[in-house]
A and B are shown apart, each in its own frame.
Chain A
Amino acid sequence: MKTLFGTSSLQDINTLIPYAQLVGLDISSDEHGLLTILRAHDDNIGNEIIGAVHGGVVAGLMEHAASFHLLDELANPVRIPRIINVSIDYLRPALNKDTFARGQVVKQGKRVANVRVTAWQDDENRPVAAAHAHFLIA
């Protein structure tokens, strides 16, 4: 990151991404590490009956979180990770409030990384979605 993006922080990079601003994606951190946050936003609703966030926006959170958590863990990234595929399990409806996501790099090979992401709202032990994705990293 340090070499690829100069002195920019992941937060700085995120604010320059138009899609992140469109849906309200923030990069933050807590005592356990990096946290990606999808802010509550009326324009993100995809189910008006229960007032749930659109599944595509939840998927966007998962993809965005996976790539940022990967960037955070890569010691010396040579390119912006490029997503190969992603598989998302929808576990509970994501209601119109802040949604948090945390990633874990399961395996980092020479060219490919496997990343898992979990997203939750009120309780980290009650996830709203879980995903795993592959990225090309070199």
Chain B
Amino acid sequence: MSLSVFKFMRHTVENLPHCKKLGLKFTQLDEGVGAMQLDPKPEFIGNTAQNFMHSAIVTTLLDTLCGTVASSAYSEGRTVATLDLRLDHLDRLHGDRTLYAKAECFHHNDDVAYVRGWAWQDSEDKMVAKATGTFMASGTFKLQKEDM
């Protein structure tokens, strides 16, 4: 797949209304692998007494990243629909620290892509969440002329 396809995917996903609202940014996207980061915002808090982010924040980060990595696993670039997503919430999410995530598509066939992802705040070996997602591949990723 050409580099411009990955660039187009990054741009498209980062500009989806909810991704834009949260401030989700890619730091890497290649064939079947990717990384994202999310800087903290006061609106992400779910536990005000202890200043922890809501678990849904890391779920959204990993859902976005795993879905995009599933798309990028297909050489022609396919749109995908999430079948299921399983999240292990391993540790508290500190409300004032950046979240980082990586994901890889560990298997895909014509119909289904299987992706695992993980997130951390301080260092990659201290994960705060782990995700496994299954995605149905549908249409080809629509590449517009101006994005080539």
Contact = CB atoms under 8 A, between A and B. Distances in A.
B75 interface: no
22 contacts: A17-B48, A18-B42, A18-B46, A19-B43, A19-B44, A22-B43, A23-B56, A47-B16, A54-B18, A57-B18, A59-B56, A59-B63, A59-B87, A60-B60, A63-B56, A84-B88, A84-B89, A86-B55, A86-B59, A88-B84, A88-B85, A90-B85
A28 B19 CA distance: 27
Contacts of A46: 16-19, 64
A56 B43 contact: no
Contact of B44 (A22, A45, A63): A22
Contacts of B81: 90
Interface string A76-117: 000010011111111000000000000000000000000000
A86 B87 contact: yes
Interface string B5-20: 0000000000011110
Nearest to B83: A90
Interface residues of A, number: 33
A45 B18 contact: yes
Interface residues of B, number: 33
With a 10 A CB-CB cut-off, give which of A20, A64, A83, A87 has the most chain B CB atoms: A83
Nearest to A50: B81
Given A16-B48, A19-B46, A22-B44, A56 B89 contact: no
A22 B16 CA distance: 16
A87 B87 CA distance: 6
Interface string A40-84: 001111111000011111011001100000000000000010011
